[in-house]
Chain A
Amino acid sequence: MSESMTLPLHMRRAEFDPAAELAAVRDEEGVRKVRTVFGVDGWLITRFADVRAVLGDAERFSNAHQMVFRIPGMPQRTDEEIAELRAGNLLAFDPPEHTRLRRMLTPEFTVRRMRRLEPRIHDIVTEHLDAMERTGPPADLVTDFALPIPSLVICELLGVPYDDRADFQRRSGRMLDLSLPPQERAAASLESRVYMGELVARAKADPGDDLLGMLVREHGEDLTPAELAGIGSLLLLAGHETTSNMLSLGTLALLRNPEQLELLRKEPERIDAAVEELLRWLSIVHSGMTKVTTTDVEVAGQRIPAGEIVICALPAANRDPALAADPDRLDIGRDSLGHVAFGHGVHHCLGAPLARMEMRVAFPALLQRFPGLREAGPEPAFRSFNVVYGLSSFKVAW
């Protein structure tokens, strides 16, 4: 990491909380001009209503005009190279191109589909708890529980060999690590596409009944190999890095709020509400993709010209008193409906039903198996320079 690099404001936190300065922007001016990780200026949107409005307006706030490819110091890419890098990445398109891709994927992520996966998720969780119990305390909750469970689930769903996990977990780690030079992140992203391209070629020759096989069978004609690889790459990354950090950070949040933990243990039927509240309170994705204004707009009284970068601070919005009373308190008894931890609008998390299912199975199973679960020290390591907030290690005993 280059020492001169400072963490962008929307990513600054004090353990579980957004930085005081970020909350102050929300409570005072609402919108502030900031320096983005790309080294150019952008506008930070912090209030709940404004964030929902921006995320809900793909016409005036575009994902397709990505600045990612125009970072100062990055080698200039040709249009073809850029097209190849974007192909299949839902987050890099606006409607109607986005709609075309999303429509092919939604059938695989319906609530009903996810309910069918539930028994298998139970088995995977049980296997990992058994392994922790066999080895005995202490354990690292990240490497023994939080990371392998969603990784295995997304591998089975997609049709990615789980034995390749060391490689793809390392690549995802580098893609999301904002302390690395953009060139290195881009290289990791290219490697991931090459790897996924091989899996796609295999699926084309012999499509299985997993998601890659389904895409090849049902949309093999409409999707280019680059698109197929891009979709696979995005799902693999988004499918394990996110849920994994919710599981580790969420467990720590419950342990540090013992009265909430006690309530959940006593009344396990509260799990759905607890998951929503943890999503809101932790808001592990700092912001969605950066957006670019397609016209002059006004947000929170601030005029923003066309062609400027806009960043939505999800943790600030989710701690807005306009969404929840006493918002900085973790309260599994509250109704956090409408929170933006999964984003909002057309890019609202495709995997949300899967992530919710994984959490509603994994948290209760963990708490039930180890009634004496506790931090074992050293202090859990919060990771900051990352697209997804969370823990890089978390030692527990029971």
Chain B
Amino acid sequence: MSEEQKPVRIRADRDVCIGAGMCVMTADQIFDQDDDGVVVLLEPEPPAQYADLVRRAVRACPSGALSLVED
């Protein structure tokens, strides 16, 4: 699918994040939590094969801190 080939760009709003860790549980290659539990992007523009996983993480995030930047 051509959709899958596009690179993904993630935006994480650290002020909105409540540290629920759903993103880390969904894709720990891409998301981490700092010592305060707040989201950290290990990979702000992950390769296309992660697109699905990233979308899942965005959907799972309870606080709305995560979004995809569509070009």
Contact = CB atoms under 8 A, between A and B. Distances in A.
Interface of A: 56, 102-103, 106-112, 337-338, 342-346, 348-350, 352-353, 356
B36 interface: yes
Contacts of A348: 18, 20, 62-63
A191 to B, nearest CB: 30
Contacts of B35: 107
B41 interface: no
Given A56-B64, A337-B56, A353-B25, A110 B18 contact: no
A348 B25 CA distance: 15
Contacts of B59: 337-338
A326 B21 CA distance: 29
B28 A111 contact: yes
B52 to A, nearest CB: 11
Contacts of A353: 20-21, 25
Contacts of B38: 106
A106 B37 contact: yes
22 contacts: A56-B62, A102-B18, A102-B19, A107-B19, A107-B35, A110-B21, A111-B28, A111-B33, A337-B26, A337-B60, A338-B60, A342-B62, A343-B62, A344-B62, A345-B63, A346-B63, A348-B20, A349-B20, A352-B21, A353-B20, A353-B25, A356-B25
B37 A109 contact: yes
Nearest to A98: B18
Contacts of A346: 18, 63
A345 B20 CA distance: 10
A107 B63 contact: no
A343 B18 CA distance: 13
Contacts of B12: none
A243 B37 CA distance: 22
Nearest to B62: A348
Given A338-B59, A345-B62, A109 B36 contact: no
A349 B24 CA distance: 15
Interface string B57-70: 00110111000000
| Residue of A110, A349, A350, A352 with most chain B CB atoms under a 10 A cut-off | A110
A197 to B, nearest CB: 26
Given A103-B36, A106-B36, A345-B63, A111 B18 contact: no
A111 B56 contact: no
A95 B68 CA distance: 25
Contacts of B26: 337
B60 to A, nearest CB: 6
Nearest to A349: B20
A249 B36 CA distance: 34
Q: Which of A342, A344, A352, A353: most chain B CB closer than 10 A?
A: A353
Nearest to B23: A111
A352 B59 CA distance: 16
A198 B24 CA distance: 36
B13 to A, nearest CB: 13
Interface string B5-41: 0000000000000111110111010000101111000
Nearest to B24: A111
B46 to A, nearest CB: 18
Contacts of B37: 106-110
A349 B12 CA distance: 20
A110 B56 CA distance: 19
A111 B25 contact: yes
Nearest to B57: A337
B62 A111 contact: no
